[in-house]
Amino acid sequence: MMEKEKEYKRICEKLGFVPSEYKYDGPVEEDDSIPNPFSVLTIEEGRFLYENGYLNPR
């Protein structure tokens, strides 16, 4: 398994879901009482997902 795939798998396990399959089902208006599921990630982990296209729906 490539390093990129290992890192993605580790991040998925940390989140508890696959980022590209995540569907927000909360209210349309902003609600700060609903926690952001991605807030458990570090800036570097979020950047990794974004830069490698893992946040795009497939």
43 in Cβ contact with 23 (< 8 Å): no
What is the chain's pLDDT, residue by residue, as a tens digit (58 residues)? 699 999 999 999 999 999 988 888 877 787 788 888 999 999 999 999 999 999 876 5
* DSSP 8-state secondary structure symbol assigned to residue 55: T
CA–CA dist 14, 37 (Å, integer): 10
Report phi then psi at 52, rounded to 5: -100, 10
Domain positions in the chain are 1-17+37-58
pLDDT at 36: 87
54 in Cβ contact with 19 (< 8 Å): yes
pLDDT at 34: 80
The residue with tokens 């974004």 is 50
